[in-house]
Amino acid sequence: MTLTDQNIFDRLCIFMRETQLLQSTFSLLGWDERTGMPPEGAEYRGEQMTYLAGIIHRRRTDSQLGDWLERLIDSPLYSKPHSIEGTVIRESKRQFDRQRKLPESLVMELTRTSVQGQQDWQKARERNDFSIFMPSLKKIIHLKRQEADAIGFLECRYDALLDEYEPWETTARVKNILEDLRRELTPLLQQIAGASPVSQSHCLNKTFPIEKQKIIGREIAKTIGFDFQQGRLDTTVHPFCTELGPYDTRITTRYNEHFLPTSLFGILHEAGHAIYEQGLQKQWYGLPPGQTISLGIHESQSRIWENQIGRSRDFWTYYFPRLQNVFPKALHDVSFNAFYSAINTVTPSLIRVEADEVTYNLHILIRFELEQLLLDEHLSIADLPEAWNDKYESYLGIRPRTFTEGVLQDIHWSGGAFGYFPTYALGNLYSAQFFAKCESDLGDLSAQISAGHFDGFRHWLQEHIHQQGQCYSAGELVTLVTGEPLTHRYLVNYLRNKVSEIYAL
């Protein structure tokens, strides 16, 4: 029987959905590893995930899959690349071409090493001992160099790894973006440093019982639109969001009894990721039209809820009275303005996930530069902690005192996620540009948020961003939604307006 293009397309979709079944199982094992697995289970968990990674890789590089894609790329089904069919074919071909360059043995070894690496990182962090993590990190970086070399690149190894998280982006462009931001924000930081202090940030360092933090955190996540019928919230060392199926998206946070923002904004951030996942076209789950575009766009959705909404005057006009009710002892004598200023205080800090919006991208720049040095063999693992500390002192004027608040604060490298960090900065840029357009489109967004009405904002995001899946690249989507290419202007204007109000600049 001669197969038509439509027959082949249908077979392609079935095959890819079956592969996604395996991928979601792999993700479930990863979620359990970071939330509930006993420490002694790490070695066997590594074997489980390595075995699955091998099967998944074989399916993603199957010669039959390649034959189908070669036929479809020249078929009428691909005549409209941004259509559902065109998107399935285009993005599947892009992923196939990337995956087939990677030896199965390398994919499996990276998986095994990353599982062990995350366990070693956690132990090292708990004991404030970088030497515990060094052997795993050395092996991970060695394997990531092999991965970059296998994929190939025009200018630098980092390009090959960055493309996994932000397709079509380049190291040179990211470098220019971060340098443009630094040039714009450095004078603003100098202005703030010379202004009279107005915040009372000590109000965030009182005693906030963890059980009550869990109550308010879950409540806020539900209020902004995280669907607990399709997800859950758990505790982990480093917050993350993961999707395990079309109706199963999980988020985590961590708690600090004496610093409320740790869990508060961690939950807003991860719930933003999850709302994106929950807003995708579920009928296309496992296929490009039902998958997220890039981590930069993903980060835009977490940062837009964490910052443009979660750190806004409008949000706390609605929610601060409730927060005072939950923590009466800590907040009964704290004014709204004092709280609002405290959560928006601009001051150099050591911990990326707790950094203010103005200095945040400097944290990303530090990691971005160190990753390139490591991959290009210009920095040894043994010298990494000191190089980290030197950059913090140079860019932020502060120096970590421990490994835990320094080089061991992030989980990403232990899982092999080199090339991930720049997507946070891109997410900040995307979020500001999307938010400005949403404000223009909705007109009364400020009034809606002040009244605790988040449906209009969330539905705008779903219609313009979530439901698009991978039908457009990140750059194409920004232009489609906002009418212009990505620019740093919106983020800089947003930050200037906010801090000018708070610091009376």
Which of 182, 404, 216 is closest to 319 using CA atoms? 216
What is the average per-residue pLDDT within 94-106? 97
* Gyration radius of the chain's alpha carbons: 23
Q: Is the pLDDT of residue 197 over 80?
A: no
Q: Is the pLDDT of residue 200 over 90?
A: no
Cα distance between residue 499 and residue 505, in whole Å: 8
Cα distance between residue 432 and residue 185, in whole Å: 15
pLDDT for 208 equals 98
pLDDT for 198 equals 64
Cα distance between residue 149 and residue 144, in whole Å: 9
Find all residues with CB under 8 Å of 117, minimum gap 6, and list them. Answer: 133, 136, 137, 139, 140, 413, 414, 415, 416
- Residue 270 annotated to the active site: yes
Phi-psi category of residue 463: left, alpha or beta, with phi > 0 → left and psi -120 to 50 → alpha: alpha
Are 373 and 379 contacting, i.e. CB atoms less than 8 angstroms apart? Answer: yes
Q: Is the pLDDT of residue 379 over 90?
A: yes
State the pLDDT confidence band at 193, using cuts at 50, 70 and 90: confident
- Give strand pairing partners of 245: 248
What is the dotted CATH code of the domain comprising 171-503?
1.10.1370.30
Q: What are the pLDDT digits (tens) for 113-156?
A: 999 999 999 999 999 999 999 999 999 999 999 999 999 998 99
Report in angstroms the alpha-carbon separations of 341 from 61, 368, 452. Answer: 53, 30, 20
0.85 exceeded by the pTM? yes
Which of 438, 384, 440 is closest to 407 using CA atoms? 384
Cα distance between residue 388 and residue 402, in whole Å: 11
pLDDT for 311 equals 97
pLDDT for 283 equals 97
Percentage of the chain modeled with pLDDT above 70: 99
Cα distance between residue 310 and residue 317, in whole Å: 11
Write out 111-128 in H/E/C secondary structure.
Answer: HHHHHHHHHHHHHHHHHC
State the pLDDT confidence band at 3, using cuts at 50, 70 and 90: confident
pLDDT for 199 equals 60
Are 254 and 266 contacting, i.e. CB atoms less than 8 angstroms apart? Answer: yes
Q: What are the pLDDT digits (tens) for 58-87?
A: 999 999 999 999 999 999 999 999 999 999
Cα distance between residue 61 and residue 46, in whole Å: 22
Q: Is the pLDDT of residue 310 over 80?
A: yes
State the pLDDT confidence band at 201, using cuts at 50, 70 and 90: confident
Cα distance between residue 12 and residue 188, in whole Å: 52
Cα distance between residue 458 and residue 52, in whole Å: 36
Q: Is the pLDDT of residue 202 over 90?
A: no
Domain coordinates in residue numbering, the chain: 5-152, 171-503
Buried b (16+ CB within 10 A) or exposed e, 72-111: beeeebbeeeeebbbbbbbbbbbbbebbeebeeebbbbbb
Catalytic residue among 85, 166, 270, 306: 270
pLDDT for 1 equals 59
Are 59 and 20 contacting, i.e. CB atoms less than 8 angstroms apart? Answer: no
State the pLDDT confidence band at 413, using cuts at 50, 70 and 90: very high
What average pLDDT does the chain have?
A: 95
Q: Is the pLDDT of residue 466 over 70?
A: yes
